[in-house]
């Protein structure tokens, strides 16, 4: 797979125009999202563009659904691009609407719930090209609660 480097011509990467990957936790009908990592070649529905020191995750949450509590190996900037969510970071919960952001410190437990009438879309921006997310319960279709994504991670 060709990966764009800084020496190549600029390429655009369309966000949210993708099939995405459905992700869920067994036994909880609302622990369900659709996502993809557009700057991480080798991950489901990713583009061929890769960042050297940045990772981006795109998440869609239908009303009432949520991204379960987890801890990320890196700090994360959450940017709501559509809809309204409740973001819980540690013991605090705030509401974020379109255009608003929140910073999640590395390894801090956090979750995101769609609380609006329409699907919410969130960008998670990470200052590294590798990420390990540790959930309280296994996430499907991965079959594990520890998910690592990055250029040196072997994919099946």
Tokens of 46: 């990713």
Check residue 103 and give its pLDDT.
Answer: 97
DSSP state, 73? S
Task: Count helices and strands (H / E) in the chain.
Answer: 0, 12
Check residue 33 and give its pLDDT.
Answer: 95
DSSP secondary structure letters along 1-53: ---B-TTSPP----SS-S--EEEE-TT-TTSEEEEE-TTSTTSTT--SB--SS
- Provide the whole-model pTM: 0.85
Check residue 17 and give its pLDDT.
Answer: 64
Check residue 12 and give its pLDDT.
Answer: 78
Distance, in Å, from the CA atom of 19 to the CA atom of 58, rounded to the nearest integer, reads: 12
Check residue 20 and give its pLDDT.
Answer: 80
Distance, in Å, from the CA atom of 113 to the CA atom of 86, rounded to the nearest integer, reads: 5
Label residue 145 left, alpha or beta by phi (over 0 means left) and psi (-120 to 50 means alpha): alpha
Low-confidence stretches of the chain (pLDDT < 70) are: 1-9, 16-18, 39-48, 51, 152-156
Closest by CA to 115, choosing from 145, 94, 89, 143, is: 94
How many other CB atoms are there within 10 angstroms of residue 135's CB atom? 21
Q: Tell me how far apart the 2 most distant CA atoms of the chain are, in Å.
A: 47
Check residue 2 and give its pLDDT.
Answer: 45
């Amino acid at each position: 797979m060709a990966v764009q480097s800084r020496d190549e011509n600029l390429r655009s990467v369309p966000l949210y125009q993708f099939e995405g990957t459905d992700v869920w936790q067994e036994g909880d009908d609302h622990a369900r999202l659709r996502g993809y990592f557009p700057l991480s070649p080798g991950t489901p529905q990713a583009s061929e563009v890769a960042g050297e020191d940045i990772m981006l995750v795109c998440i869609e949450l239908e009303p009432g659904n949520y991204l379960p509590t987890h801890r990320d190996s890196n700090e994360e900037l959450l940017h709501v691009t559509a809809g309204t969510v409740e973001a819980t970071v540690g013991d605090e919960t705030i509401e974020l609407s379109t255009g608003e952001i929140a910073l999640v410190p590395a390894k801090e437990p956090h979750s995101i719930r769609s609380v609006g009438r329409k699907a919410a879309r969130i960008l998670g921006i990470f200052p590294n090209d590798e990420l390990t997310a540790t959930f309280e319960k296994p996430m499907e279709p991965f079959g594990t609660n520890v998910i690592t994504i990055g250029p040196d991670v072997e994919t099946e």
